[in-house]
Structure formats: C-alpha cells, structure tokens
Structure 1
Amino acid sequence: MRNFSTGTVYLVFVIFFLLVAKQSEGLRVFTIINECKQTIWPAVTPGEQFEGGGFALKSGQSRIFTAPVGWSGRIWGRTGCNFDQDGNGTCETGSCGSALKCGASGKPPATLAEFTLASADFYDVSLVDGYNLPVVVTPVNGNSNGGGNCTVAGCDGDLRLNCPNELAVKFNGRTVACRSACDVFDTDQYCCRGLYGNPVTCQPTYYSKIFKDACPGAYSYAYDDPTSIFTCSDADYIITFCSKRKEKVCAYHGNRLVCSGASIINSFFSWIVTMFATIISLWIWI
C-alpha cells in the first residue's frame, strides 16, 4: 500500500476545495435557442463585469453564455434585422439603436425575459413593454428551497394574431409586434403611475387581459406579480424563442446534456461521483 505524507493529503484536500468552489463560483449558464422559422437577433443587456451584447441566431441554432451573480438584466429577440459587416443596421422590432451588440435595452415593443441573479434568482417574462415573439424561460437543475416558484415562465402564445388594431405594429402590411396600452395611450391608468401607482388602484385593463389570456405565464401589466414572478436557486436557464411552455428542452450544462425536468438529486450524485473520480486520479498521480 502506498504511503502518503501529510502534505500530499493536504494538497488533495485543497484541490477538492477548489473544485467545490469552482462548482459554485457564482456563474449562471444561459442557453438561447431559436425555434422560430426565421432568423432572430437575440440581445442581452450588459452589467457590471458582464458585456451583454447581441448576435444572429438562425432557425434551429443555439448559443450559450454565462452571467455572474449580481447581474440584473434583460434578454429579448429582435426581428427583421439587416446588419452590415461592421455590425451596424436596423431591425423591424426590438432594436437598440443601430448596433448588433446592444449596450442598453431595446426599443419597445418587445417580449422581455428579465433576470436578477443572486443567492436566489428572480426571473420573469414581461409583456409590459409590448410583444414581438413567443419566449419561454426554463430553469435547469434549480430548486425553490421550500419557497418561490421554480418552474417554467413565459409566453408561448402569438399575440400578433389577435393584437387589437390600435396596438398593432405593421411592416409591409403584416403585424410584426403588439404595443402595450401604456406605450400607445400614455395614461396613468394604463401605465400604473400617479394615483394608479400601486397594486390596489392599478388593476387589469381590457388590453392587459388580452395579453394575459394569450400568455398566462407572463407579466401583462406592472403589478401582475402573483402569477408572473419566478424564483430559483442554483439554476441555469434555457431561453427558447417560439417554443411551448410544456415542451421538453435540452442543453449542455456542466459538460453534460441536461433536459428540463431533470432531477437535481441525480445531478448532485453525478457531480459527487465525478469529484471523487478526480480526487482518486490526482491521488494516484501524486
């Protein structure tokens, strides 16, 4: 049997500690999937120590990026874009000026996936700024820690099909987006401000009810909290455009294929086995 010095055992312990720290170093993995029939241009708002940006995503393609705990921002899809080789251009919906890589929020109307990353993450899909694409947010391997709603959020209905004419944004005769009533009419009642700046006085309106009927898992107006805010701990996220809320989605997380609904317990034990295998390999090597 091989003898190991105290220093060797200590080194193995340190390596194990670093591996554990790496596992929870404060990064969330985001996978963006385009299931729309056409190319879209997802955009991500930047934050401290996080660049955000934007890119083209053809039908069927996906893109992975990480964001640090502490980031609070939005992800949305732009449509009908035309960019030159320098990343300058225009979009029919969701544009952030003329840039491919967004440095700030986009122009309404756009369906927004909103995140605040902390020890417990908060996320939602919002139609408060209008609608341009179906968006679904699926947490992967997250947990609610006994509270919160760690489930699928989003809007899989197509509001463009029944958007009231007074809210419709048209391009070449077709409806490409649906504006919010606040954006169109700019009144305190529709914008939940002034005397209507609280959840008691700001109630659902005719227009927000149309949004809610089409997208029950999304914010339809500013105080639509009870059914529209979601909370997860230690989760990664899959953002799918033009998907269904109950559709099973899969992505690579932690160098393995993980699907929505996968058991966090199975993931935990898989990780433990991997860690022990790594330690044994290092032990033999040392």
Structure 2
Amino acid sequence: MFIKIVLFAALLALCCAVEFQILNREIGDIWVGIQGNPGHAHLNSGGFVLRPGQRVSVHSSANWAGRFWARTWCNPNTRHCDTGDCGNKLECNGAGGVPPASLAEITLKGHGGLDYYDVSLVDGFNIMVAIEPLGARGDGSRYSCTKSACQVRLNDVCPDRLKVRNSQAVIACNSACNAFNTDQYCCRGAYGTPETCKSSTWPENYPKFFKDRCPDAYSYAYDDHKSTFTCKANAYLVTFGG
C-alpha cells in the first residue's frame, strides 16, 4: 500500500509539473541562475552551465514562483561571473544574482488560477531575455499567452553613466538605483509610493531609456502594470541572447 501511495504521488507530481525549457542563443557559455520565491524550491539547485545553442529542461511544481537570469563572463576556475554572480558558485542554491541582471519572472497558478510572467530590467540589463508559453492559446489580447521579451542589445547603446565594464567590454547596463543609490532613483523614503516616485520627474529619466527600447519589460519599481503577461500553460521557453 505504501509503495502504491508513493507511486501515485510521483505520478501526480509528474502530471501536474510545469516544464521550463532554457535556451542559450549567445555565442558563448552562460551560467543560468534560478531562484525560487520564498517557500518555493530552487530548481536544479539554482544553476548550471548552458552551452551555445543548448536547450535544457527543468521542472517545477504546478504552483511554483521564481526567477531566471543569465550569468555572463564566468570563470570556471574561480566560479566568479562578472554579471549576475551569486557568490562564486555554479549552483546558486537560493542566492540571488548581483545586479545588473536581466530577469525572467513567473508565478504559476496566481490570481484566478492564471500564470503571471514578465521580463524585468528593474535591476538593470546584462543580456537579452524572453519568456513565452509553449502550446497554449490565449484570448487574443497582447498580454495573453504571448512572448514577453527584451531582445535589444542594450549594452551597445547604454547611457555612459550606467555602463558597467570589465577589462574587455561593456558587460551590462545598470539601473539608476544601482548606479546612484539615491532615494528618488530607488523609490524609497519620501519617494516610496507610486505617486511620489515617477521617473518622468527624475533629474534624468533613465527608465525611459529601457522602456523605449524594451516596452514589454519593467523598467523601475513603479513602472506601469502593462508589462505583466498571463496564461495557463504546461511549458515555458526562457531564451537568453538572440
């Protein structure tokens, strides 16, 4: 009886699991980072190497919530990555990525039983990213079961004051909060509400740079809500690079 219960539970978990296919379209290796939200598992121990052109599937529970990001310029000897590093290790195991890093975020079976997903540049940009449902049909609207993406190489056109460099290249484009650490740019203190933190009133509207080029991505803490996509799907494709 015990064995039957275990087998049934395993089959139930399998039938209700969601697949995430992670694809690398860059010309070099990336180190994938995965972090579950509080109370959720860190899939595949939170990280693995993804070769150019390689696609790897990871599976989650049906109600998982978390984020995916790519770590770039990684040294396999020191295990340090110049962008998105999670503590000089391959498997992040719950650690988040150091900004700036482009994020693909998702909450499965959220309000109304829908999956909510988005691309966020709130922590800046390091690599092109997209997330899209596979084999699902939406209601025909722009944000229903369609691709959410930032597929512009922002590092090439990043404002000078936001550029992050290593010894070889511009490797990321910082957020204003990370770059300047002021209450206004970070939407905190007196600027901690949507009414008091409007990027249009900032000394320099840096979120507009991101939003103009990647309109479907969140650009700062109180960006509009039009960047949230919804669907019901059993599989999602997360693509880095392009």
Match of 2:24 among 28, 34, 47: 34
Match of 1:96, SS state, is: coil
- Structure 2 counterpart of 1:127: 121
Query: Which 10-residue stretch deviates more, 226-235 or 29-38?
Result: 226-235
Match of 1:91, SS state, is: strand
Q: Deviations over 1:127-157 (max 9, x none)?
A: 0001100001111123446986321101001
Considering fraction of residues, name the structure with more strand: 2
Match of 2:51 among 24, 35, 58: 58
**1:92 corresponds to 2:82:** yes
d(CA) in 2 for partners of 1:223 and 1:69? 29
d(CA) in 2 for partners of 1:68 and 1:61? 24
Match of 1:182, SS state, is: helix
Q: Supply the RMSD in Å over aligned alpha carbons.
A: 2.3
Unaligned runs of 5+ in 1: 1-17, 244-286
**1:204 corresponds to 2:199:** yes
Match of 1:188 among 169, 183, 187: 183
Cα pair distance change 1:163/1:49, threshold 3 Å: closer
Query: Which 10-residue stretch deviates more, 144-153 or 105-114?
Result: 144-153
d(CA) in 2 for partners of 1:128 and 1:81? 22
Match of 1:162 among 157, 160, 172: 157
Of structures 1 and 2, the one with the larger relative CO (CA 8 A, separation 6+) is: 2
Query: Which 10-residue stretch deviates more, 47-56 or 130-139?
Result: 47-56
- Structure 2 counterpart of 1:284: none
Match of 1:69 among 26, 42, 62: 62
Q: State the 1:181 CA deviation.
A: 0.1
d(CA) in 2 for partners of 1:202 and 1:189? 7
Q: Deviations over 1:101-129 (max 9, x none)?
A: 01221100100001111131111110000
Higher-Rg structure is 1
1:1-286 paired onto structure 2 within 5 Å: 22=12, 25-46=15-36, 48=39, 50-52=41-43, 53-84=46-77, 89-103=79-93, 104-118=95-109, 119-144=113-138, 149-205=144-200, 206-243=205-242
Query: Which 10-residue stretch deviates more, 150-159 or 226-235?
Result: 226-235
d(CA) in 2 for partners of 1:220 and 1:82? 29
d(CA) in 1 for partners of 2:207 and 2:63? 31
4+ long deviations beyond 6 Å: none
Q: State the 1:173 CA deviation.
A: 4.2
Query: Which 10-residue stretch deviates more, 49-58 or 122-131?
Result: 49-58
d(CA) in 1 for partners of 2:26 and 2:211? 22
Q: State the 1:231 CA deviation.
A: 1.1
Unaligned runs of 5+ in 2: 1-7
Any conservation in 2 of the 1:145–1:233 contact (CA below 8 Å)?
no
Percent of paired sites with the same residue: 44
Q: Deviations over 1:54-79 (max 9, x none)?
A: 11111111100111133221100001
d(CA) in 1 for partners of 2:100 and 2:40? 28
* Structure-2-length-normalised TM-score: 0.83
